[in-house]
């Protein structure tokens, strides 16, 4: 007897994600610049689609070479996040906030120094050279499910940690069958 193990997304779900992506891409205004990402790992699950509207804030100076950006990693992002809303910080407090070792924080700060985002002072303090603002005005996250709407709803709710609006996308016949449960979606503010 041969056991068949299914791993990953079912074919129907991948197809639905592709059609949703194509439809949303066409619907977006050409004048308003937006980014669309598929399969975005947000540490609360993997959002099937995410649409983000930039706010014009530039983190790195215009003209920064792509090779300079290669040093950006998850640890650099954690350090950067710990520095937002601050003008001066200490390596120890950054390490405590991020859960990284002080040595790792030092390495990540050198990447940020090369990008001219921070300045390292001789007294061990870190000075943020310019405001670290949020890069996006709005973020919409979509979870796509073919059948299991309850698990889709839970996943969509997890995306609230980073998205302004969250949606559950399903095939039309399945979505129509869920009309009687619209109050659940309204209660949790899921489109």
Digit-coded pLDDT (tens) for 144-174: 898 888 988 998 988 888 888 999 989 888 8
At residue 88 the predicted structure's pLDDT band, cuts being 50, 70 and 90, is: confident
Do strands 136-144 and 165-169 pair parallel, antiparallel, or not at all (unpaired)? Answer: parallel
Specify whether the CB–CB gap between 144 and 13 falls below 8 A. yes
Tokens standing for 92? 């120890």
How far is C-alpha 84 from the chain's CA centre? Answer: 16
pLDDT of residue 43: 66
Burial of residue 42 (number of CB atoms within 10 Å: 0-12, 13-18, 19+): middle
Q: How confident is the model at residue 6 (pLDDT cuts 50, 70, 90)?
A: low
Q: Is the pLDDT of residue 5 over 80?
A: no
The whole-number pLDDT of residue 166 equals 92
Query: pLDDT grade, residue 32 (50/70/90)?
Result: low
Q: So what's the pLDDT on residue 31? A: 58
If DSSP codes are grouped into helix, strand and coil, which group holds residue 79? Answer: helix
């Amino acid at each position: 007897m041969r056991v068949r193990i299914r791993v990953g997304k079912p074919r129907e779900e991948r197809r639905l994600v592709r059609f949703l992506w194509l439809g949303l891409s066409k619907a977006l205004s050409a004048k308003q610049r937006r980014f669309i990402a598929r399969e975005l790992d947000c540490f609360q699950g993997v959002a099937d689609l995410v649409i983000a509207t930039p706010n014009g804030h530039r983190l790195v100076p215009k003209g920064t070479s792509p090779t300079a950006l290669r040093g950006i990693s998850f640890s650099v992002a954690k350090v950067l996040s710990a520095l937002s809303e601050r003008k001066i910080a200490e390596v120890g407090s950054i390490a405590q906030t991020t859960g990284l070792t002080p040595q790792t924080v030092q390495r990540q700060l050198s990447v940020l120094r090369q990008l001219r985002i921070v300045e390292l002072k001789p007294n061990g303090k870190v000075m943020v050279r310019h405001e670290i603002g949020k890069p996006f005005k709005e973020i919409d996250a979509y979870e796509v499910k073919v059948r299991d709407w309850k698990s889709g709803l839970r996943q969509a709710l997890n995306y609230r940690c980073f998205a302004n609006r969250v949606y559950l996308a399903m095939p039309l016949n399945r979505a129509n069958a869920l009309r009687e449960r619209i109050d659940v979606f309204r209660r949790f503010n899921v489109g």
